[in-house]
Structure 1
Amino acid sequence: MSHPLIPIVHDLAKSVASQLGLEAVAVYFYTHHSPPTLRVDIRHPERDITLEDCAQMSHCLEEVLDASDRVTTAYVLEISSPGLSNDLTTDRDFKSFRGFAVQVTAHSPDHGQQAWQGTLIGRDEVAVYLNQKGRKITIPRDQVSLVQLQEGPS
């Protein structure tokens, strides 16, 4: 299960990014780091992310986070570009890679299974859908921890 601060930080990051002409793609909170690391991935809709984009986002988001009093623990803020990741995170990713081979990993096992491979059909508010050898597989979205592109056919 994702950390409860992630949706709060993602909403704040989306607002800040929008003001800077950027998109906040994903938020990760690595609590196993010492101190914990709060990473926000950003992208520009028309070009590659620059170091200046990351610095601006970091400065502005840091001010918003400090003012919000929502994050009460010490953390390191890291702003990054998602680059060419195999992880599918945004609605745009799920539309772009419909028909591609993916692996879906759940937070915990469901009937003894924690990962599924197949061809991506799509995602909605309720679930992630795969085609697995002609059979439609439905994985509840709140159980999905990771969706990754796979090499080769599914």
Structure 2
Amino acid sequence: MAHPLIPRIVTCAEPIAAELGLEVVDVVFQTNKKPPVLRIDVRNLSQDTGLEDCERFSRLLDPQLEAQEIIPGAYVLEVSSPGTDRNLTTDREFIAFRGFPVRVKTYAPYKDQKEWCGTLRERDEAAIHLNLKGKAIAIPRELVAKVQLDDQP
């Protein structure tokens, strides 16, 4: 379950990312660490995401988070790029990565499996559609725990 502060953090972070030509891909607030860790993954919309992108975003976001007092107490801010094994979550990502190898993990077994590896065909209202070596399968969305790009096709 996502931390309740994440929507406020996203609201603060997205305009800064947009100003820099970046997109906020994921936000995780790990309160089980001392101090807590706020990890934000960003992606450059026009080229590969680099360290400079993460640094620029961090330098602009940090003072805004402090000024708005969103997170009480000390915390560590980590900004990174999502990498190739990242989770797909947005409609935009599912469209952009159509035809790419993915790994789908389910909460409960579907057709006796909890993990599926195949080529992403699409995501619609009802299912994640994969091509498994020429065979089409539709995994119901309510069963899907996560969809990740798979670097092991």
Q: Which amino acid aligns with 1:57?
A: F
Equivalence for 1:91: 91
What is the aligned-residue RMSD (CA, Å)?
A: 3.0
TM-aligned CA deviation for residue 76 of structure 1: 0.5
Q: 1:50 to 1:116 in 2, by over 3 A?
A: closer
TM-score, scaled to structure 1:
0.72
Aligned to 1:129: 128
Q: Distance in 2 between matches of 1:59 and 1:20?
A: 12
Change beyond 3 A, Cα 1:136–1:146: closer
Q: How many residues align?
A: 148
- Is 1:71 the counterpart of 2:76 in the alignment? no
2-structure distance, mates of 1:65, 1:144: 33
Note if 1:25 corresponds to 2:46: no
Percent of residue pairs bearing the same amino acid type: 45
Point out where structure 1 has 5 or more consecutive residues left out of the alignment: none
1:135 deviates by: 4.1
Are residues 1:48 and 2:48 paired? yes
CA separation in 2, counterparts of 1:82 and 1:109? 26
Tell me the distance in 2 between the aligned counterparts of 1:144 and 1:31: 25
Structure 2: runs of 5+ lacking an equivalent? none
Question: Which digits, 9 at most, give the CA deviation of each residue in 1:61-106, with x for residues without a partner?
Answer: 1122122233225321011122333432443321132244433335
- Provide the C-alpha distance between the structure 2 equivalents of 1:117 and 1:86, rounded to a whole number of angstroms: 14
Larger deviation: 32-41 or 128-137?
128-137
The Cα of 1:118 is off from its aligned counterpart by 4.9
